[in-house]
């Protein structure tokens, strides 16, 4: 959709104009002609407008508002128009208008939302497609809103768990940098006036200060450059991301944490898709999208092929995800009892609770460890600096 600017005259001869979005200048001219406006000029607007990013809460609230209007009996086009007018940001307004225009041109709702609505992932589009297929689009919109809120809650929990340790680590790094670049050089000038040999701890601190002063700028610049280059390389080469993620899964504590987080997302997503009426063979690849980033893609792909060959899901889970014993047990119960959706939700809740407990324990252990390490470093540097002063005082 193009960003255009137009000027024209209404039937009374008044000058009108302004910015707008349209498929093309021809479509805009046709629409204005139908309103009786004589177009005098149409220009393309260069550049892209700066718009703030929409939050997860805003996207979820917008989808819930749209679902409520549809449940009240409003036609889809009218509900989209009203919701767009009430949207809190320009990005959401443009997204909803794009969805309405695409649906009016004959695009199915799931594809229209996936192309135009901001922040939707393939699993959300799959939920909307299931709602269109079953004729219950309002329920699908509510499911997408709940999924967005669930993902935002997980991210917020991770941020809360890591925020305080990150602040303490940053404070420790800043304090050590201050000691090595400001405090130690001043003491070094004082030590140079004395003919006494420096103790070994003091010599080590002085050498560390000199090395840090020389190397720190290069380390910072090199670290930033390497991070940017690595991020760009990982975006261009998905197999590299998979290998790194697989390596992280082998780490003692972090690997199991990433695995449980991915299994929680996979179980919850598969439960929602299965409950929305998506066939299991179509839901499994979408659920694998939700677990992406934990190095499980090859194993989940093999699992999909085994299920497509007629093998029960629980059996495929036991073979290809041996670390997900609880999940395979619950899925087996769900397949035998006909309550697969409920058992998948139970598995997602189990992994989510375990993830929260592990993060809380890690945060409770990491905070005092970082504070103690900061105290030891500071005390060690200060003691090494004052040790020659104490020796000089004893010789006087």
Residue 167: per-residue pLDDT = 79
Of the options 2.40.50.140, 3.40.50.1010, 1.20.81.30, 3.30.70.270, the CATH number for the domain spanning 187-396: 1.20.81.30
Q: Would you tell me how many other CB atoms lie within 10 Å of the CB of residue 250?
A: 9
CA pair distance 43, 216, nearest whole angstrom? 52
Residue 310: per-residue pLDDT = 87
- 1-17 per-position pLDDT tens digit: 566 777 888 787 777 77
Helix (H, G, I), strand (E, B) or coil at 40: strand
The mean predicted confidence, pLDDT, of the chain is: 79
Can you tell me the mean pLDDT for 188-203?
72
Q: Global pTM?
A: 0.60
Of the options 3.40.50.720, 1.20.81.30, 3.30.1280.10, 1.20.930.40, the CATH number for the domain spanning 56-149: 1.20.81.30
CA pair distance 256, 254, nearest whole angstrom? 6
Residue 143: per-residue pLDDT = 82
- 258-314 per-position pLDDT tens digit: 778 888 878 888 887 788 777 888 888 878 877 766 667 788 888 888 888 888 888
Residue 283: per-residue pLDDT = 83
State percent of the chain over pLDDT 70.
Answer: 85
Q: Find all residues with CB under 8 Å of 231, minimum gap 6, and list them.
A: none
188 or 102, which is more confident = 102
The domain limits of the chain are: 2-44, 56-149, 187-396
27 or 314, which is more confident = 314
**What Å distances lie between residue 256 and 123, 146, 247, CA to CA?**
24, 26, 12
**Quick check: 396 pLDDT over 60?**
no
- Show the tokens assigned to 240: 């590299």
**Quick check: 395 pLDDT over 60?**
no
Q: Among 20-24, 82-86, 100-104, 298-302, which stretch is predicted with the lowest mean pLDDT? A: 20-24
Can you tell me the mean pLDDT for 324-338?
88
- 347-391 per-position pLDDT tens digit: 888 888 888 788 777 777 777 887 788 788 878 877 877 777 676
Residue 193: per-residue pLDDT = 67
**Quick check: 393 pLDDT over 60?**
no
Can you tell me the mean pLDDT for 61-85?
89
CA pair distance 70, 137, nearest whole angstrom? 8
- 148-188 per-position pLDDT tens digit: 887 788 778 777 767 777 777 787 778 778 877 777 777 77
35 or 247, which is more confident = 35
CA pair distance 60, 367, nearest whole angstrom? 34
CA pair distance 359, 254, nearest whole angstrom? 11
């Amino acid at each position: 959709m193009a960003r255009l600017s137009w000027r024209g005259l209404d039937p009374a001869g008044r000058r009108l104009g302004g910015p707008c979005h349209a498929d093309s200048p021809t479509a805009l001219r046709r629409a204005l002609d139908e309103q009786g406006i004589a177009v005098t000029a149409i220009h393309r607007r260069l550049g892209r407008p700066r718009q703030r990013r929409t939050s997860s809460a805003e996207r979820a609230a917008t989808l819930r508002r749209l679902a409520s209007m549809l449940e009240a009996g409003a036609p889809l086009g009218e509900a989209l128009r009203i919701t767009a007018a009430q949207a809190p940001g320009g990005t959401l307004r443009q997204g909803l208008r794009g969805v309405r225009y695409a649906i009016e041109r004959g695009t199915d709702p799931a594809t229209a939302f996936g192309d135009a609505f901001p922040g939707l992932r393939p699993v959300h589009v799959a939920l909307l497609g299931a709602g269109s297929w079953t004729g219950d689009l309002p329920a699908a919109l509510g499911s997408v809103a709940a999924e967005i809120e669930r993902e935002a809650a997980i991210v917020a929990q991770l941020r809360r768990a890591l925020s305080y340790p990150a602040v303490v680590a940053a404070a420790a790094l800043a304090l050590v940098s201050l000691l090595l670049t400001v405090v130690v050089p001043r003491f070094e000038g004082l030590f140079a006036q004395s003919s006494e040999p420096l103790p070994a701890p003091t010599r080590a601190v002085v050498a560390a200060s000199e090395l840090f002063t020389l190397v720190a700028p290069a380390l910072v610049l090199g670290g930033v450059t390497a991070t940017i280059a690595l991020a760009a390389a990982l975006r261009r080469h998905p197999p590299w991301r998979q290998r790194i993620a697989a390596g992280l899964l082998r780490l003692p504590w972090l690997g199991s944490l990433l695995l449980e987080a991915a299994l929680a997302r996979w179980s919850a997503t598969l439960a929602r898709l299965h409950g929305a009426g998506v066939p299991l063979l179509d839901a499994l690849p979408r659920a694998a999208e939700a677990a992406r980033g934990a190095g499980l893609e090859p194993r989940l792909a093999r699992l999909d092929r085994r299920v497509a060959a007629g093998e029960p899901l629980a059996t495929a889970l036991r073979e290809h995800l041996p670390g997900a014993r609880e999940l395979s047990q619950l899925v087996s119960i769900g397949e035998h009892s006909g309550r697969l959706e409920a058992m998948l939700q139970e598995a997602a809740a189990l992994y989510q609770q375990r993830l929260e407990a592990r993060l809380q324990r890690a945060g409770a252990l990491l905070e005092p460890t970082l504070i103690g390490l900061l105290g030891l470093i500071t005390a060690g540097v200060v003691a090494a600096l004052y040790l020659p002063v104490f020796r000089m005082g004893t010789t006087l």
